[in-house]
A and B are shown apart, each in its own frame.
Chain A
Amino acid sequence: MKILIPVIAFAALLVFFVSRLPRPRPVTVTASPSPTSSLQPPASVSNAPTQLQLIVDEIRSFRLDDPQLTAPSFDRNLDIPEE
């Protein structure tokens, strides 16, 4: 019984000090794929416009009223006064 008292006291002190130790912070691990990683998904080719699609888009954006061809506006009758 006499032996148990210091053992229990030592155990209590040990628990006390251990509980006061700073706890390790949770570490957030973010995994980013390496540029050279072979695990990267293959680049999707289905969304890339085809050559035909590009020409069709060009045709759709074609303007018959191209502003670069529009005639400049000016007064067509200056109505110069008599002297």
Chain B
Amino acid sequence: MLPVILVASLFALGSDYRAAYQQYLLAKNQFQQYKTESTRLTAVTATRQVLTARNLLWKTYLQNLRGQLAGDTNLETEINYLDAQTAEFSQLTSLSQAKQLSKAWESHLYKSNQLAASARQQILSYRLDQLASRLQPFIDQASPSSTLDLAKQKLGVLTTDLKQRYQLLLEAANLLLQLP
């Protein structure tokens, strides 16, 4: 249930981010055009909002991944970092300060992305393991045959390549279907 709520929440946060981004672009253009105190303040507010919305969107995505992985400390640390960023963004009062914080956030994103990719890999790997384990009772009950041996062989291949693992699982499952 929790992942469903988080996915729905992620969708809503994506919309919030896009709205904040449009406001930011508008305020930025107005400031660059007129350079008044009023347009500067509007730009600072819009920048603060877009930085917060982007941070929240990414943090919720990582929380969604963490929800599907038991006890991933790297993701936990990353989520805590993003939490701290929310506080930083809420206090910014100038564009130069916002620029500095945004640059730091964007630089950090590379590492964060790698963590997310690794989490995705683990989740998909776990799902493939689950599917393979559900085939096991049919293997245990089947009479010995060369088709059964081939299916076992395909399931026994050790590889970290998810595409290859999926392909082997599918082939093994199709072979089991051919058994009497």
Task: Give A contacts to B, CB under 8 Å.
Answer: 51-53, 55-56, 58-60, 62, 64, 66, 68-69, 71-78, 80-83
Contact = CB atoms under 8 A, between A and B. Distances in A.
Main secondary structure, interface of B, reads: helix
A39 B65 CA distance: 57
B124 A64 contact: yes
Given A59-B169, A66-B124, 20 more contacts: A52-B135, A52-B176, A52-B177, A55-B173, A56-B173, A58-B131, A59-B131, A60-B170, A64-B163, A71-B61, A71-B113, A72-B13, A73-B14, A74-B57, A78-B54, A81-B43, A82-B99, A83-B94, A83-B95, A83-B96
B166 A55 contact: no
Interface residues of B, number: 50
A58 B127 CA distance: 11
B51 interface: yes
A68 B40 contact: no
A64 to B, nearest CB: 6
A80 B102 contact: yes
Given A69-B65, A72-B57, A78 B173 contact: no
B80 interface: no
B81 interface: no
Contact of B58 (A52, A72, A77): A72
Given A59-B170, A78-B50, A80-B47, A53 B177 contact: yes
Chain A's interface: helix, strand, loop or mixed, by majority? loop
B28 A76 contact: no
B157 interface: no
B29 to A, nearest CB: 9
B109 interface: yes
Contact of B95 (A59, A60, A80): A80
B106 A76 contact: yes
A47 to B, nearest CB: 15
Contacts of A55: 131, 134-135, 138, 173
A20 B164 CA distance: 87
